[in-house]
Structure 1
Amino acid sequence: MSAFYFTNLVLIQATMTGLLLALSVQVPLRMGVFSFAGAGAYGIGCYAGAILVLDHQMGAIPTIVLTCIGTGLVVLVLGVLIQRLNGLYLAMATVAFCLIISVIAINGGTLTGGSTGRYGVISDFTMGGMFAITGVVLLLVALSERGKLGRRVDAVREDPELAASMGINVRRYRLTAFAVSGVLGGAAGAMNILVRSAVSPLDIGFPLIVLALTMIIVGGSLSWKGAVVGALIFTWLPDLLAVVGQWQELIYGVIVALAAVLLPRGLYGIYVDTKRSVQRRRREARDGASPQPPAGEAATVPAGRLEMEAQS
């Protein structure tokens, strides 16, 4: 196990940063916000982490914390500016934001290192800290999908007008989605620079949008579990396809295209649908095998249950 771990350490690190990047897009999508601002926050996080460590000799954890706060605020301001946009227009505005970050990185002079980027970022960041941060993020995102909060998020996504009529502040939820997206993207970028030690304009920008969107489309866009599945597949798949040589990109593209067409809800969605179908068949079989009340005699239903059903 240890041999596998150390041999594939770079891929394990890339899986965790890729997962946070995917979540930075998946969380807004769950609220009906078609935003890629998390990919721009990733780029800011990479350069902010490099600047804080190289120019200010800051430790790893303070660097990540300050980066997350900064990227969260930046994306929140972006959300305030474009909050009236929806759908494709909102997506294009956030794509433009990501491209602007790339342009700033190229023309940032000594602060960003220009087209060369920043390198030599050596810090005290450990794999234990990386696992801990990823685990905490997954726990918080998983909790947001459950209970009252999860139902409110679903309502905001499915029918904003109905959600507003029920007293849910849709605007606040949308802006929260932007802020969380910025924090997750910034955390992913900061962790990436701390483990990779270098960043250039080629490492950020539009390719990050494609990668994040591919992960959540194939894995599943409505649950953190889908983001995990997508991050695992598209971090390790290029390495597995290395054996095919120059055909790697073609096969990679065919896999993505087939998954997008044949699996509209992603791999995790297929699992959920299959599980529900099996449970429904078992329930129908059980109900069919249970004794039926005599003809003309109504089944007795507790009064408490009737009252609960009426209230629901």
Structure 2
Amino acid sequence: MSDWYSMNVVLIQTTLTTLLLALSIQVPLRYGVFSFAGVGAFGIGGYTGAMAMVHGEWSTWPAVLLGTLVAGVCTFLLGLVVQRLTGLYMGMATIAFTLIISVLAVNGGDWTGGAMGLYGAIGEITTMHIVLAVLIVVAFLAWTEYGRRGRKVDTVREDPELANALGIDVNGYRRLSFLISGLIGGLAGAITTLLRSTITPSEVNFHLVILALTAIVVGGARSWVGALIGAVIFVWLPTFLSFVQEWEKVAYGFIVAVAAIYLPNGVLGVVKDLWHKSRTRDERARVAVGLQEKS
């Protein structure tokens, strides 16, 4: 087991940070907000944490905390600015936010390292540290998915007019989704950057939006479990597809297309459907046995 861990420690860490990135996109979607601001928050958190260590000589976790908080505040302010937008226009505005962060990083001079990026942010982060951070985030999100809180979020997403009629502050919930998204994205960016000890503008770009969105679509958009499934698939899939060599990207795209067409609720949705059918079948069998005994 220890040998397997030593050989795959980078993949394990990448899976966990990808999960955080995917969750930063999934949270707004659960609230009915088509936002990709979490990717911009990833860049803000990464650059802020790196600058704190390189220029301010901060230690690891204060730098991570600073990056997380700055990203959360910036994304929340963005939510206030674009809160009147919906659908595709919201998505375009938040993608533009991500691209602006990349442009600012390129033109940041010595503070951001310019187009070459910022190097030397060597953080003391272990896999266990990342696991603890992910567990805290997942525990909070799981708390919002069930019971009365989960029903409110579902109502805000599915029927905003009904939610308003029931006295639920729809706009307040949506602004909250930007804050949560920014905090999670900033945490992902800060941890990823201090793990690699470097960050460049090219890392904060549209490809992260595609990665996070496809992970959610394939895994499932309604729960953190779906984001976990998607993160595992897209981090580990290239390892299992290495045998196809130059056809790897074609195979990767084919799997994504098939999943998008035939798994509208993601892998998690399929698992839930199978579980529901199994329980229904067992329940029917018990009822049939009971009727036979009575007769």
Normalised to the residue count of structure 1, the TM-score between the two structures is: 0.91
Corresponding residue for residue 143 of structure 1: 143
Percentage of pairs with the same residue:
48
Equivalent residues of 2:47, 2:67 under 8 A apart: no
Corresponding residue for residue 107 of structure 2: 107
Structure 2: gaps (5+ residues):
none
Higher Cα Rg: structure 1 or 2? 1
Amino acid at match of 1:94: T
Distance 2:43 2:241 in 1: 27
Equivalent residues of 2:215, 2:231 under 8 A apart: yes
Residues 176-234 of structure 1 deviation map (CA, whole Å, 9 limit, x = unaligned): 00000000000000000111111111211100000000100000000110000000010
Distance 1:115 1:242 in 2: 31
* C-alpha displacement of 1:284: 2.6
Residues 45-92 of structure 1 deviation map (CA, whole Å, 9 limit, x = unaligned): 111111011111111211111111111110111001110111111111
Distance 1:287 1:166 in 2: 39
Q: Does 1:227 align with 2:251?
A: no
Q: CA RMSD in A?
A: 1.4
Distance 1:63 1:38 in 2: 19
Residues 130-164 of structure 1 deviation map (CA, whole Å, 9 limit, x = unaligned): 11111111111111111111111011011011011
Distance 1:240 1:43 in 2: 29
* C-alpha displacement of 1:291: 4.1
Q: Does 1:43 align with 2:43?
A: yes
Alignment of 1:143-222 (within 5 A): 143-222=143-222
Alignment of 1:58-77 (within 5 A): 58-77=58-77
Alignment of 1:260-299 (within 5 A): 260-291=260-291
Corresponding residue for residue 53 of structure 1: 53
More helix by share: 2
Residues 237-256 of structure 1 deviation map (CA, whole Å, 9 limit, x = unaligned): 12322232211111111111
Distance 2:80 2:17 in 1: 27
- How many residues align? The count is 293
Distance 1:108 1:248 in 2: 36
Q: Does 1:242 align with 2:220?
A: no
Corresponding residue for residue 305 of structure 1: none
Distance 2:240 2:29 in 1: 30
Distance 2:113 2:69 in 1: 23
Structure 1: gaps (5+ residues):
295-312
Amino acid at match of 1:173: Y
Amino acid at match of 1:287: V
